[in-house]
Structure 1
């Protein structure tokens, strides 16, 4: 492997930290959502459709996940009564996923637990450091989105 530049090493360190953070956030999310009968994945899907019914494909795009994994999660949520499939006025075959009353109650319970958890952890970090971390990760995400879009276009032709 060729030696990395300092900038490449620093970016790679950021990627590793984000991967580790993601794993820990999923663990924490599972703990926060378990009392409501949810998992991190289920919580995320409910959070997307809290704003209104959406197709599985739209939920997957919003979350940056594969449609198949969101379909499995949505089917499990429907089986447990947290969501229901409803008619889609824009497409005959692609139904929309919609929150049920039970799903809304579960989501509100997790949101309350999340608010308390986020306040506790957010209070443990200096505000300027936290704001700089958000800004840095956001900028890295935006540049990666742009890079992937350019890569995608170069592979289409």
Structure 2
């Protein structure tokens, strides 16, 4: 145990979390700068990417779950995207009020333009990092995410 009660792994993970918060802020700011000329923000880009990844129109609640954000926040972003003609709402045969969110042609073009900008940017960020190290970090992040998701589900079930 360390002086403050952390195990060595807990102390290291705590430092990693603090650096992850800073990294997240830097990624969002860099993403905002990268896609600003397209009329996007990192948040809008993330929602568009989640729609693309889903491969079919889905309700806002599902998009929010996939992103790990509140439904209300994602709804606000989706409303902005709809106002700008990047997404459209389609009827949901399973729910009268929870419309499905689908990309428009303009939204697909914006996403393609964003990814065209992202490729050289991410390749430059990856310079000097080994594929193995990146894969290890990714695996650790996924394992931590699964533990946090399981804890949240347990808390929801208990509460």
After TM superposition, is the score higher than 0.5? Answer: yes
Q: Give the alignment's TM-score, normalised by structure 2.
A: 0.89
Q: Which residue of 1 aligns with 2:114?
A: 110
- For the residues of structure 1 that align with 2:145 and 2:95, how far apart are their CA atoms? 32
Are residues 1:73 and 2:81 paired?
Answer: no
- Alpha-carbon distance, 1:151 to partner: 2.9
- The structural deviation recorded for 1:95 is 0.9
| Alignment counterpart, residue 125 of structure 2, candidates 110, 121, 124 | 121
Aligned match of 1:134: 138
Give 1:71 deviation, angstroms. 0.7
Task: Give the one of 60, 70, 84 matched to 2:64.
Answer: 60
Structure 2, unpaired ranges of 5+: none
- Alignment partner, residue 31 of structure 2: 29
CA deviation vs aligned residue, 1:8-56 (integer Å, no higher than 9, x gap): 2111112112111111111121122212211011111111212221111
Unaligned runs of 5+ in 1: none
Count residues with an aligned counterpart. 155
Q: TM-score scaled to structure 1, two decimals?
A: 0.90
